[in-house]
Amino acid sequence: MLLVIDIGNARIKTAVFEQYNLLELIITDKKQIQKVVEDFSSKYKVETVFISSVGDFDPGMLKFQEKIKIINLSSKNKFPFTNCYSTPHSLGVDRMVLAAGAVLQFPNKNRLVIDAGTCITYDYIDEKDNYLGGAISPGFKLRYESLHNYTAKLPLLNFEEPKNSIGNSTQSAIHSGVVNGVIKEVEGFISDFKKQNKNFTIILTGGDAVFLAKRLKSTIFANPNFLLESLAYLYQYTNTND
């Protein structure tokens, strides 16, 4: 069995796979990660732990009763695409995993991967498996926090879907600006991608993927667990191509 761990900015996703089949998923944090991996390793016959982390993470903090192989992914690992980023070593490993998943699950297509989480990232991989780059912008939470932190009087609000595009109060105006701003931004990137590419697939993932998928006009492949699945695909690819 394979245990994959996705360590993001706000939370940690852990999942057990049997080849490409997701058996169980738990969302946790750094305080609880040890208990989660212990529970998984006792419940399943875990042989390998595959880790993707956006920040500094010491895999040595994970203690296992049995001898288990731990792989902490970095840009030095083998990936199924050509990295055309001008600063390849600065490309986040989470974005590399998403690109790998797009290549392995949607071969011979132009792909746009949109990961809607703390940040919203856009990654382009062409039909010849060249990673071309993308874009990064603030997600919903960061936009709310920025309006509060960098102004004198605007309140800090929690996410709320606006009832109208025109807010008739400060709070409703903030909700409209943040939520509709994200939706229109994503639609704009998708529209540009469609104009420039044929034979394409658009993949939407991340914590806000379900919310966005219901409100976007475009036909997309929405999967909140695409990064976890991509880790499983990348692990199988690594084993096959060692």
Q: Spell out the alpha helix ranges (H) of 71-180.
A: 93-105, 140-149, 170-175
Checking phi first, is residue 129 left (phi over 0); if not, alpha (psi -120 to 50) or beta? left
Q: Spell out the alpha helix ranges (H) of the chain.
A: 33-43, 93-105, 140-149, 170-175, 181-196, 209-213, 226-241
The answer for residues whose C-beta is within 8 angstroms of residue 168's C-beta and 6 or more apart is none
Q: Decide if 32 contacts 54 (C-beta within 8 A).
A: no
Q: What angle do CA 61, 64, 65 make, to 5 degrees?
A: 145
* DSSP code of residue 18: E
Is residue 94 among the annotated active site residues? yes
Checking phi first, is residue 61 left (phi over 0); if not, alpha (psi -120 to 50) or beta? alpha
Other Cβ atoms closer than 10 A to 45: 11
Burial letters for 142-151: b for 16+ Cβ neighbours within 10 Å, e otherwise? bbbeebeeee
Choose, from 6, 39, 94, 129, the residue flagged as catalytic.
Answer: 94
- Which amino acid does the sequence have at 109? K
> Would you call 26 exposed, middle or buried from its count of C-beta atoms within 10 A (0-12, 13-18, 19+)?
middle
Q: Give catalytic residues, as residue numbers.
A: 94
